[in-house]
Amino acid sequence: MLIDCGEGTQVPLRARGWGLRNLGAILLTHMHADHILGLPGLLLTLGHTERGADEPLPIYGPEPLLAALRALLLFAPRLPFPIEPVVLAGGETFPLAGAEGVQIGCAALDHEVPCLAYSLTIPRAPRFDPERARVLGVPVAEWKRLQRGEAVEVGGRVVAPGAVLGPPRRGLRLVLATDTRPTPALPEFVRGPDGTGSDLLIADAMYGDEEDKPKRWRAQHLTFAEAATAARDGGARRLWLTHFSPALSEPAAYLDRATAIFPATTVGRDGLTETLTFEDDGG
């Protein structure tokens, strides 16, 4: 999955050896140049992999997605695979092709054009109690079905999954939100439908300080402090700041504006990676 595609996106991906062959979907936050102008180059690069006519590439985004794709595809004609555009309004959820159980969600932000935040959620199965399964006489061959949440029949008796599975467990949730001015929709989306928050929020942090906001137009972006406030209010575990103004020559110099509100903040940079793991649930 790739979220947004600024100019030259394929260059650092190739430099890191991150193949594009299995790209399941492209999610576009909004139709501003810095988020979409890299599409022709990326799609042409993808065209040089073995991806063929039977492997369509879904591209999701808000309006005017179709007009933007029509324009951008002029520069990448004759792709060997079909593009499947999907227009989103915010609030939709859908599976990520090729990644079982993974769900994408989106929410409308507040920018000068329609703009979406995206979430990626990975579910976690409840804990399976093999001792209980043995006591109930369920053969090992049937355990997988119970783990999937199906009931099984053992010697004329029905064993429900609830008999061998623990309580629901929190999975993983990642949210990327850029570009936006402060909006209550953001912490609400970070918190998620089950209210347990996000493991990582990657957020617009265009301005280090209030004073950096251009006076001549209404601000369209967050400050470091506003991004940190959204992370705190949404129950995020970690925050990455990104989308810095070109005027911020040293974004790290403003880190304290964010950490004063939300300590677990990282100033984003090219190539930053993080491995998210399920929270320890004490067992």
- Catalytically annotated residues: 34
Binding segment (CB under 5 A) for Zn ion, from list 17-25, 152-160, 177-185, 244-252: 177-185
Binding segment (CB under 5 A) for Zn ion, from list 2-10, 175-183, 250-258, 264-272: 175-183
CB atoms near residue 174 (< 10 Å): 19
CA distance 210 to 180: 15
Going residue by residue from 29 to 58, which x/- string records binding to Zn ion, judged by CB under 5 A?
Answer: ---x-x------------------------
CB of residue 251 to Zn ion, shortest distance in Å: 15
Decide if 121 contacts 100 (C-beta within 8 A): no
Q: How far is residue 33 from each of residues 170, 205, 226, 229, measured CA to CA in Å?
A: 37, 18, 24, 27
CA distance 205 to 178: 8
CB atoms near residue 125 (< 10 Å): 14
Q: Which of residues 5-34 bind Zn ion (CB under 5 A)?
A: 32, 34
Nearer to Zn ion (CB atom), residue 32 or residue 257? 32
Nearer to Zn ion (CB atom), residue 106 or residue 138? 106
110 in contact with Zn ion (CB under 5 A) = no
Q: Please give the size of the binding site for Zn ion, defined by CB under 5 A.
A: 3
Nearer to Zn ion (CB atom), residue 47 or residue 64? 64
CB of residue 204 to Zn ion, shortest distance in Å: 7
Nearer to Zn ion (CB atom), residue 154 or residue 247? 247
Report the chain's terminal Cα–Cα distance, integer Å: 31
**Helix H or strand E encompassing 135:** helix 130-135
Of residues 124, 76, 94, 130, the one with CA closest to residue 1: 94
CB of residue 113 to Zn ion, shortest distance in Å: 7
Decide if 71 contacts 40 (C-beta within 8 A): no
Nearer to Zn ion (CB atom), residue 32 or residue 173? 32
Could you give the maximum distance between any two Cα atoms of the chain, in Å?
Answer: 76
* Beta bridge partners of residue 3, listed in sequence order: 27
Q: Is the dihedral of CA 134, 136, 139, 144 positive or negative?
A: negative
Compute the C-alpha angle 242/243/246, nearest 5°: 125
CB of residue 9 to Zn ion, shortest distance in Å: 14
Q: Which of residues 179-208 bind Zn ion (CB under 5 A)?
A: 179
Binding segment (CB under 5 A) for Zn ion, from list 41-49, 61-69, 134-142, 178-186: 178-186
CB of residue 110 to Zn ion, shortest distance in Å: 11
Nearer to Zn ion (CB atom), residue 4 or residue 199? 4
The residues that touch Zn ion, with contacts defined as CB under 5 A, are 32, 34, 179
